Amino acid sequence: MSFETLANWVHNWLYETLHPTVALLVEFAIVGVLIIGLFAVLGLVLVMMERKVSSWMQLRLGPNRIGPWGWFQTVADTLKLIVKEGMTPNNVDKLLFNMAPMLVIVVSMVIMAPIMFAKGIQIWDINIGVLFVAAVSSLSIIGVLMAGWASNNKYSLLGAMRSGAQIVSYELSAGLSILVIVVLTGSLKMSDIVMAQADGWWLFKGHVPAIIAFVIFIIAATAETNRAPFDLAEAESELTAGFHTEYSGMKFALFFLAEYVNIFVVCAIGATLFLGGWMPFHIGNWEGFNHVMDYIPSSVWFFGKTFLLIFVIMWFRWTFPRLRIDQLLSLEWKYLLPISMFNILLVTIIALAGWHF
Amino acid sequence: MTLKQYFSNIFTGVKSLATGMKVTGGYFLRHHKEKITEQYPDNRDTLVLAERFRGEVIMTHDDNNEHACTGCTACELACPNGTIKIITKFDLTPEGKKKKALDTFIYHLELCTMCNLCVEACPTSAITMAPTFEHSVFDRSQLIKKLNKPGSKIREGVE
């Protein structure tokens, strides 16, 4: 039994036994609990993955004391953060200070809505799915700016302003590279984009423009999630911790969690647009091979692709040094943006002429 | 910037990034074979320290409990922060002459910066740096050490 049949069965059972409005509310609650559960698991798994990947890339051991090979280290860290006091310093703007982490985490939750986790598993198949993601993801910068401003601390404010300049810039090339796939598919709907890749992923079908768009998307996604080499907003060596300098305990943990969930979200979007979402890997006419690939569940395909992209982004982080602010902006405005504009022209010609497979 | 420079910038940039990623990717793939982490104190028995490691000053004694220190105080003079205090005495040689000799070599580990100047100043190579580093104690007075062993005397022929 797949997740899709289970979900349909629960849906039908709720609507048969309960009043439609109550059933809808119960479904909201179930989805909310599932998303919060996913957040908790993602936080634990991704932080552990980051620490292990970083240590292995530097020939270190990484966490190795709690549990087998240190796999429970993040559980212990989370427990520590939960019992820690969430302090609010004296001269901060108390409302904004306490609201900022909530806003950031809520934005991460809302972007989860149009993502297809597996065949038929999607919270909301909205017909402007990709646009929705692009629009909502830019809201998280407001949370960061709020935190920086409310902290009443020059380092926090500097970090937040840097983060603002960075996200406003990189939103453009991220949007343009998403647009490449939208042009090829002819739809903004997530399920349509995935179905269009049933006979091959856009990365392979879209010729050179899709590959360029993929590379630009990965760079822009790294920048938008404020990760090294684009982590000027945090810049431990210059700004202590940037916008979350003054945060402690669970409020800090929410920022930390939002960072990792955002990585997951952008990688999920990247996997959906360029690597075919939950679509299995097929090669032309190899019937036997394609049949074997179809046996692997769609959720495994989706999470496999997403975690592959997450690994690539972690690989970036543990290889490249941090960019200076002028280098960051010149990379975007002088290189990525002109290239992606030219790229979208190219892909439009290809799509109009029908040259893609 | 000409168009040619623009594209060569992109090319060299991508190339250097790929070189960096190749290095870390290579480490990632063979991480299980080479590890630079020392799991101290679990590996205390197998710990290997570099030959030039400077942990504390010691005086070398041979099997006959003899050292090579003439008590010349060159090390005491060379020390920049008064770590070494040498107390001398006068021995009688078989011919009945008085000869200056070492009585007590006092070494203040708590003042020492491991600069190695005393070892370099020593004309007879009587002192050297030992590769030990677990020096913490509960009382500061335990760090004042007497380097010449009790009952030791100067080796024959060392002037």
Q: Is the same domain home to A318 and A235?
A: yes
Residues 34-63 of B with CB under 8 A from A: 34-37, 39
Task: For residue A98, give its domain range.
Answer: 88-353
pLDDT above 70 coverage of chain A, percent: 97
pLDDT tens column, B54-88? 989 999 888 888 888 888 889 999 999 989 999 98
In angstroms, what separates the C-alpha of B44 from chain A's closest C-alpha?
A: 17
Average pLDDT over residues A153-179: 85
Same domain, A76 and A97: no
A125 CA: distance to closest CA in chain B (Å): 37
**Looking at residues B7-15, what average pLDDT do you find?**
88
Is residue B20 less than 8 Å (CB to CB) from chain A? yes
Predicted confidence (pLDDT) per residue in A97-119, tens digit: 888 888 888 888 888 888 888 77
Do A99 and A237 lie in one domain? The reply is yes
Q: What is the C-alpha to C-alpha distance for residues A327 and A174, in angstroms, rounded to an integer? A: 18
* Domain C-terminal end among A83, A102, A123: A83
- Conformational region of residue A23, where left means phi above 0, alpha means psi within -120 to 50, and beta covers everything else: alpha
Domains held by chain A: number: 2
Render the burial of B99-109: b for 16+ CB within 10 Å, e for the rest: eebbeebebbb
Are the C-beta atoms of residues A317 and A227 closer than 8 Å to each other? yes
Residue A62: predicted pLDDT: 82
Mean pLDDT for the stretch of residues A8-18: 82
- ∠ Cα A242 A245 A249 (to 5°): 135
Asked if A311 reaches chain B (Cβ–Cβ under 8 Å), the answer is no
Domain boundary (A67, A83, A99) is at A83
- Could you say which of A51, A83, A115 is where a domain stops? A83
In a shared domain, residues A201 and A153: yes
State pTM to two decimals. 0.81
Query: A60–B17: do the CB atoms touch at under 8 Å?
Result: no
Q: Are residues A45 and A117 in the same domain?
A: no
- The angle at the Cα of A99, spanning A96 to A105, to the nearest 5 degrees, equals 140
Chain A hits for B20, Cβ within 8 Å: 319-320
DSSP character string of B21-42 = HHHHHHHHHTTTT------TTT
User: Is residue B23 less than 8 Å (CB to CB) from chain A?
Assistant: yes
Question: Residue A235 — very low, low, confident or very high, per pLDDT cuts 50/70/90?
Answer: low
Alpha helices in chain A (DSSP H): 3-17, 20-57, 73-83, 94-111, 129-137, 140-150, 154-185, 190-195, 202-205, 207-224, 236-239, 249-274, 287-295, 298-317, 325-330, 337-353
Q: What is the pLDDT of residue A236?
A: 67
ipTM of the complex: 0.72
Residues A66 and A123 in one domain: no
Burial class (CB in 10 A: 0-12, 13-18, 19+), A57: buried
Residues A96, A79 share a domain: no
Q: Are residues A40 and A163 in the same domain?
A: no
A58 contacts in chain B (CB < 8 Å): 24, 27, 36
**Count of pairs with CB atoms under 8 A, one residue in A, one in B:** 40
State the average pLDDT over residues B81-105.
Answer: 85
Residues A67 and A157 in one domain: no
Residues A44 and A111 in one domain: no
Cis peptide before A229 (omega within 30 of 0): yes
- Kindly state the average pLDDT of the residues B97-113: 88
Backbone angles phi, psi at A64, to 5 degrees: -145, 20
Are A57 and A176 members of one domain?
Answer: no
The pLDDT assigned to A138 comes to 81
Residues A34 and A99 in one domain: no
